[in-house]
Amino acid sequence: MTGFEYILIPLIAFLAYLLKAMTGFGPAIVLISFGSLFLPAYSIVATSAILDIIAGIVLLKVDWEDGSYRYWLPLAVAIVIGTVAGAFLIKIVSPEGFHFILSIAIIVIGIWFLFGRTNVDEGKLRCNLPKRCTRGDTGFTFLGGFCGGMFGISGPPIIWNFGRQFTKRAFRQVLVPVFVVAAVARSGMYSLLGIVDLQVMKYVAFAVPGLFLGIFIGNRIFFKISEILFGRIVGAILIIIGVKHFF
């Protein structure tokens, strides 16, 4: 790596995991969009997956509640199955024709977070996770995994489903463990394919300081912002993802 990369990698990681701590999702859009400008695409994708595991473990410790695994564990299984199904189907059906529909759907969800969620009475949003997830929760999480396997974007169906049910804290408590499991599955797949090599581990090592700083600052912001501002931030990010994916 050049001296330029030594500076950029932790900076990009800082921005990515500042966003992750503030919302529970979204680091890949920063890491992959900017990292792929000067690093091999496959390397930054593998780096992103490993960093997601590290960040997820840190945030799990922040948000952990005894017994919460009973709610999110079935969802974690659903996202892995969905990811495998989507990755398998991509060999049979080209996803190119569905990009437009997916992009529009993501933008619509983003608009709802910007304007619709702000009109939801905060008293109607649950502050704690239920003891068990519903079939609908499992279905949306499977759909998110399927989209991730086929299109590379897993978040929007999951974000919409849980964002309309929970306050920001409970929302993050769902997203973090589910996305950790998905990152473990991706990292395992990349390892089997030989993508995770010494160079990738070097990228991870240099990114970690930025990751921890981003989580520290992002977590402080997360607990200070209102539910309305949280919804607007999530909505803006989704619209950016949708527009970027559209083009």
3-state SS, one letter per residue, for 153-222: CCHHHHHHHHHCCECHHHHHHHHHHHHHHHHHHHHHHHHHCCCCCHHHHHHHHHHHHHHHHHHHHHHHHH
Q: Say which range, 51-55, 76-80, 121-125, has the weakest mean pLDDT.
A: 121-125
Q: Are 187 and 46 in contact (CB under 8 A)?
A: yes
Judge whether residue 97 has pLDDT over 70. Answer: no
pLDDT surpassing 60 at residue 1: no
Q: What is the pLDDT of residue 91?
A: 61
Output b/e per residue, 203-226; b: 16+ Cβ within 10 A: bbebbbebbbbbbeebbeebeeee
Residue 90 pLDDT: 61
The domain segmentation of the chain, as residue ranges, is 3-246
pTM of the model: 0.83
C-alpha neighbours within 13 Å on the C-beta side of residue 206: 19
Rg (C-alpha) for the chain, rounded Å, is 17
Residue 67's pLDDT band (boundaries 50, 70, 90)? confident
Residue 4: both structure tokens together: 């330029």
Q: What is the mean pLDDT of residues 152-162?
A: 83
Model confidence pLDDT, tens digit, residues 207-218: 999 999 999 999
Nearest to 203 by CA among 47, 55, 12: 47
- The C-alpha atoms of residue 31 and residue 55 are separated, in whole angstroms, by 13
Task: Please determine, for residue 247, whether its predicted confidence score (pLDDT) is greater than 70.
Answer: no
